[in-house]
Amino acid sequence: MHTEYFIVDRENPDKEILGQAAELLKQGKLVAFPTETVYGLGADGLNEKAVADIYQAKGRPSDNPLILHIAHKEEINQLVAHIPANAKILIDTYWPGPLTIVFRRKAVVPDIVTGGLDTVAVRLPDSIVARELIALAGTPIAAPSANTSGRPSPTSAQAVLADLEGKIDAVVDAGGCQIGVESTVVDCTTPVPTLLRPGGVTLEMLIATLGEVEIDPILSGSFELSPRSPGMKYTHYAPDAPMVLFEGAYPQVVELLLQEVTTALAAGKRVGALVSAETAARLPAGVVSSVYGMRQQVDKIAANLYMALRSYDNNTVDVIYAEGISEDGLGLAVMNRLRKASGYTIVKG
Ligand code: TXA
Ligand code: MG
């Protein structure tokens, strides 16, 4: 399959070009597009065949449900059975933006979108390109991150093509994604809303808005409990080499990482280090470093994270050592993704 390539301006996208991409969506085809979080792989969310093709292109397990993306708040009413009071508050405060809300679904939502669950996840993205594309398509757009299942999410059109060129009908390129990690997922079908995936809307923001938020046990490390968000149980964001994550108090955590790097180099390994700029300056020669940002600039770390992980594609190193950061704010989302990328191979300092 030939993958068509469209390029548009992020703030002021050409309507005619987006119209061509929207036409493909209407025909049941797969179009990758940018959002403020990561690139999504879009299809008409009410077309079962089109949604089935998303799973096929990504190699995604069919019990991992998809998010439906809408262009205007009112479009929620056609999809969900009931909007709880807490969800109303979240919608008014954070939409459009990097927040996905889980509702009880209406029957119009196909089983293939929800993995058979009686709930549906909905998001109104902030990205102008995403919203205009969805509006032109005139249907809710099902869109997981536009990566091969298990790989880091794409934050550029180039990263989309690296995984999916020839497997999807088109990609819309509007440059890099500002946030860089996927949306926060909050389940509002529980009496107290439950955080299922940390993201751009932080836990601190949710607590400030709602007063009380439960945290899914899998996020606090109780992996034996069955995950409520099916996506949480799969290995994710994994780079091409095994990764070890160093967690703990700073600067001890960095000393520990530097020791391991030295030991691995001495053993003849090709060593990668996914680290802060401060730590990169202290690495010995011969290490393939990928810098995710300055330790205090968590927004930049999040924005660079997936590109940094993808820099180890094509088997360039034998092992990657990653430097953990504080879990404050967006740091919770960054650490959640790093833990999953490491397959929970974690050294605590
Ligand atoms: O930022 C994002 O959310 C991006 C962009 C493209 O919007 N999309 C994205 O989709 O990250 P995906 O499919 O990679 O992740 C969706 C997550 C998965 O963890 C999935 O299990 C969860 O949302 N999810 C979807 N529907 C759900 C439901 N009904 N109940 C609980 N979790 C659900
Ligand atoms: Mg994903």
Q: Is the pLDDT of residue 236 over 90?
A: no
Higher pLDDT, 218 or 104: 104
Residue ranges with strand state E in 55-109: 67-69, 99-104
Give me the pLDDT at residue 218, please: 75
Domains of the chain: 4-220 (3.90.870.10), 243-348 (3.40.50.11030)
Task: State if residue 35 touches ligand 1 by the CB under 6 angstroms criterion.
Answer: yes
Atom of ligand 1 at shortest range from CA of 200: 1
Task: State if residue 180 touches ligand 1 by the CB under 6 angstroms criterion.
Answer: no
Cα of 278 vs its chain's centroid, Å: 26
Q: How many CB atoms lie within 10 A of CB 296?
A: 11
Compute, in angstroms, the gap from residue 154 CA to the centroid of ligand 2. 9
User: Comparing C-alpha atoms, which of 51, 87, 89, 86 is closest to residue 67?
Assistant: 51
Compute, in angstroms, the gap from residue 144 CA to the centroid of ligand 1. 6
Task: State if residue 231 touches ligand 1 by the CB under 6 angstroms criterion.
Answer: yes
Give me the pLDDT at residue 228, please: 58
In angstroms, how far apart are the furthest CA atoms of the chain? 61
Give me the pLDDT at residue 295, please: 95
Give me the pLDDT at residue 226, please: 47
Give me the pLDDT at residue 240, please: 84
Give me the pLDDT at residue 225, please: 42
Task: State if residue 37 touches ligand 1 by the CB under 6 angstroms criterion.
Answer: yes
Give me the pLDDT at residue 197, please: 95
Task: State if residue 144 touches ligand 1 by the CB under 6 angstroms criterion.
Answer: yes
- Band (239; pLDDT cuts 50, 70, 90): confident
Task: State if residue 147 touches ligand 1 by the CB under 6 angstroms criterion.
Answer: no
By alpha-carbon position, which residue is closest to atom 5 of ligand 1? 40
Q: What is the mean pLDDT of the chain?
A: 94
Give me the pLDDT at residue 315, please: 81
Task: State if residue 64 touches ligand 1 by the CB under 6 angstroms criterion.
Answer: yes
Compute, in angstroms, the gap from residue 308 CA to the centroid of ligand 2. 17
* pLDDT tens readout for residues 135-170: 999 999 999 999 999 999 999 999 999 999 999 999
* pLDDT tens readout for residues 190-228: 999 999 999 999 999 999 999 999 999 877 654 444 455
Task: State if residue 13 touches ligand 1 by the CB under 6 angstroms criterion.
Answer: no
% residues pLDDT > 90 (the chain): 90
Task: State if residue 102 touches ligand 1 by the CB under 6 angstroms criterion.
Answer: yes
* pLDDT tens readout for residues 59-102: 998 889 999 999 999 999 999 999 999 999 999 999 999 999 99
Q: Is the pLDDT of residue 265 over 70?
A: yes
Question: 348, exposed or middle or buried, with CB in 10 Å at 0-12, 13-18, 19+?
Answer: exposed
CA distances from 62 to 11, 137, 285, 345 (A): 35, 25, 45, 27
Both tokens of residue 124?
A: 């109104």
Compute, in angstroms, the gap from residue 205 CA to the centroid of ligand 2. 23
By alpha-carbon position, which residue is closest to atom 6 of ligand 1? 40
Give me the pLDDT at residue 143, please: 98
Atom of ligand 1 at shortest range from CA of 98: 1
* pLDDT tens readout for residues 273-303: 999 999 999 999 999 999 999 999 999 999 9
Ligand nearest to the CA of 197: 1
